Amino acid sequence: MNKMTKLINLILILTLNFSCAEKKSTEKEINQPELVATSKSDTLKFTSGIRAILQDSKGNYWFGSQNEGVSLYDGSSFKYYTINEGLAGNQIRSIQEDKNGTIWFGTANGVSSYDGKTVQKHTVIGNSESEWTKTDIDLWFDAGTRQGVYRYDGQKLNYLPFPNPKNITSGSTYAVTSISKGKNDMLWFGTYAGVFGYNGSEFTTINDETLRLTEDSEKMHVRSILEDSQGRLWIGNNGIGVMLKSGNSIINFSKEQGKLIPMNEFEANALSKQFTKNTGLQAVFAITEDSQGNIWFGDRDSGAWKFDGKTLTNYKIDTKLISQMIYNIYEDQNKNLLFGMAEGGVYKFNGKTFDKQY
């Protein structure tokens, strides 16, 4: 074999090796799993409704159910945790991650945490009520049927009661239904009977008494709350739609947009369970702002609504679903907008329609 032939063979071998290496590298990139994609090998088994969603600092997804506990999705399979594994309750109302990477669950029966190995219950030590205070590391949870909140200060769980107003005209309690962190160090707590704002030293109260609603049927029944990036406070009610507080003024946003059904008709449909007849922005159980500044509402009866600052657009999540009710709207680290449904599924908004993910 002459030198020229050896050189040609060497070039062919090097070219072949390089092509194989390049192919393997490309295959590796293509085969890397995406977390927000329907898993072919495993599916989410919850059927009772997705009340809470969190993507943690490791990229894992946590899904909290209405009465089946919580599930961890690592991109390939689902793992489940219930009261049998140490959760305080199987109804998951909130999921948070602290600065140490510990995952916290607010349940209907108390607070639990997961450190990556075990689930631990947390209880308030003693029966005494704590005084109101706040720090940057606090985690806040609803306190079940109690008229106050749980605050975890990094060491222990405290119960803080609300300063009850003199008159409660709606007949509802001040048990917490939603929590939102706002500008100027403000915390907002939505309760059935109204809203409390706390800035670390004083309270702001929004309820039937302070609003002085003119119609007897228009009573607050708060189910969701959000202070957006502009400092506007959105208050979602079950019955009177969305109230919008901007500065010192408060309006009924649903009524202003022409999306409020007369209360007698809404209540009649609710009593007869004809929720499909309620097509307005009336029973709002979820509010979220996406990374583009759009405000999203999840309605019990009419599906999803997007407000871009000018136009209010209604979307049906899936016509095959018996209920369009949305429990939770969550934007993940990749700016995917996820919707937790009452029937147990999780859907992703693709810009026009909704794809079922889990």
Return the structure tokens found at 242: 């969305």
Q: Look at residues 49, 54, 84 and name the one whose alpha carbon lies nearest to residue 67.
A: 49
Please report the pLDDT score of residue 311 as a whole number: 97
Percent of the chain with pLDDT over 70: 84
SS3 at position 291: coil
Confidence of residue 114 (pLDDT cuts 50, 70, 90): very high
Please report the pLDDT score of residue 88 as a whole number: 97
Return the structure tokens found at 52: 């809470």
Please report the pLDDT score of residue 277 as a whole number: 84
Please report the pLDDT score of residue 14 as a whole number: 42
- Tens digit of pLDDT for each residue in 133-176? 999 899 999 999 999 999 999 999 999 999 876 655 556 789 99
Please report the pLDDT score of residue 216 as a whole number: 56
- Contact (Cβ atoms closer than 8 angstroms) between residue 169 and residue 208: yes
| Length of the chain measured in residues | 358
Residue with token string 């607050």: 220
- Tens digit of pLDDT for each residue in 56-89? 999 999 999 999 999 999 999 999 999 999 999 9
Residue 12 has pLDDT above 80, yes or no: no
Classify residue 106 as exposed, middle or buried by CB count within 10 Å of its CB (0-12, 13-18, 19+): buried
- DSSP H or E segment with residue 110: strand 110-114
Give, in degrees to the nearest 5, the angle at Cα 273 between 272 and 276: 120
Residue 6 has pLDDT above 60, yes or no: no
Considering only 89-93, 165-169, 273-277, which range has the smallest mean pLDDT? Answer: 165-169
Please give the model's pTM, rounded to 2 decimal places.
Answer: 0.86
Please report the pLDDT score of residue 126 as a whole number: 66
Confidence of residue 53 (pLDDT cuts 50, 70, 90): very high
Task: Please state, in angstroms and rounded to a whole number, the distance separating the CA atoms of residues 192 and 5.
Answer: 86
Confidence of residue 3 (pLDDT cuts 50, 70, 90): very low
- Tens digit of pLDDT for each residue in 302-357? 999 999 999 999 999 999 999 999 999 999 999 999 999 999 899 999 999 999 99
Interval 12-27 mean pLDDT: 40
Q: Evaluate the CA torsion angle 228, 196, 204, 262 in order and state its sign.
A: positive
Confidence of residue 204 (pLDDT cuts 50, 70, 90): very high
Rounded to 5, what percent of the chain is helix, strand, coil? 15, 35, 50
- Contact (Cβ atoms closer than 8 angstroms) between residue 188 and residue 182: yes
Task: Please state, in angstroms and rounded to a whole number, the distance separating the CA atoms of residues 99 and 182.
Answer: 19
- Contact (Cβ atoms closer than 8 angstroms) between residue 298 and residue 310: no
In our burial notation (b when 16+ CB lie closer than 10 A, e otherwise), range 232-259 reads bbbbbbbbbbbbbbeeeeeebbbbebeb
Residue 234 has pLDDT above 50, yes or no: yes
Please report the pLDDT score of residue 166 as a whole number: 60
Average pLDDT, the chain: 87
Confidence of residue 205 (pLDDT cuts 50, 70, 90): very high
Interval 230-251 mean pLDDT: 95
DSSP one-letter code for 138: -
Confidence of residue 19 (pLDDT cuts 50, 70, 90): very low
- As a whole number of angstroms, the longest Cα–Cα distance in the chain is 103
